[in-house]
Amino acid sequence: MLNDWLFKSWYWPDDAWLWIGPARRKAARLLEKGQWDALISVSLPFSAHWAAKKLKKQFPQLPWLADIGDPFALQSEHPLNNALFYRKKNARAERSVLSFADWMTVTNEGLRQAYLQTWPDLNTRIHVIGPLASPQVAKTGFVLEEVQKFHIAYFGSFFKNIREPEPLLEFFAMLSRKKDWVLHFYGDIFENFYPIFEKYPSLKPYIRFHGLVSREEAAAAMRQVNMLALLGNTTGFQLPSKWADYLMSGKPILHLLQTPSDPALPLVKGLNQVLSLPWHESEKREEYMASFERWEAPSGDGKPWEARFSPAAIAAAYADLLLSQKEQKVGA
């Protein structure tokens, strides 16, 4: 309550603000010992980049990679602090991080383009490395109940103004009279979204909430359901990380778009495994529902995606980037 009503109105840059000082001091003590090849900061939270910027000033010869999962100042629909007070300061801070870092990585081309439209001079230093898939180790002995039903599952959370549950619930409210199905939610549902679920009482018999579960249980459930549901973000530069797990699962994927610039579209274009429906076009929803009913929901081959999203593949991509940049510096 104190956070929501007091600290959240004043802290900067985000809710990890108290961690910046201890993180920087601990990292500085480590960097003073031995040889280090690079400094890597990862957001969220943006506070990690702010600590890294201070370290870069202290150790200017140390190459710094800023790995950006979500942007900071560009998130006008889901600000990470009091935008009324800090909008301009946020933009200056993000620009300073992008200027100080030797190079940046983002998860999708949409975010890269969003940065370049704002700061065109960053062109050669922003690189795209896709999302990381979770280890696909399934819990043994896990069996879904109600085996006679058609199981659809959504994995992940919802976020205000970015990915709220209502579009997904609207879709399944239209489907409720069509099939003998159940919809599973794996992940934390924040309390502020409870009223949205309550708006659809007709869906109560179809929905199963599982909350936060282990990665092993999530992997087991993903293997046993018939279909995966994914709701795209309202922005054109934020790619849900669950895309990696979904594609590697090989399961049919129902993809509801909330913007025509959904950054996943180039990734899944032409895949029979994925049905992407522009759900933001409300006047065509009956047409899109008919498309879903005609869709044969084929499975895909998850193996090729391992070459892009597995921990080994992502680690190799970062290693190649760090080594190539190091060689360029040596050559210069």
Q: What residues does each domain of the chain span?
A: 2-24+38-128, 150-304
Written as tens digits, the pLDDT of the chain (332 aa) is 666 667 777 888 988 889 999 999 999 999 998 789 899 999 889 999 999 999 999 999 899 999 998 888 887 777 787 888 888 999 899 999 998 999 899 999 999 999 898 888 877 788 999 999 887 788 887 888 877 889 999 999 998 888 999 999 999 998 866 668 899 999 999 888 999 999 999 999 999 999 999 989 999 999 999 999 999 999 888 888 899 999 999 999 999 999 999 999 998 988 999 999 999 998 898 899 888 888 888 888 888 888 889 899 999 999 998 888 666 655 55
Q: Is the peptide bond before 263 cis (omega within 30 degrees of 0)?
A: no
Which residue from 319, 318, 317, 329 is spatially nearest to 63, judged by alpha carbons?
Answer: 329
| Crossing angle of the two packed helices 166-175 and 285-294, in degrees rounded to 10 | 60
pLDDT at 199: 94
pLDDT at 328: 62
pLDDT at 4: 65
pTM of the model: 0.85
pLDDT at 251: 93
What topology does CATH give the domain 150-304? Rossmann fold (3.40.50)
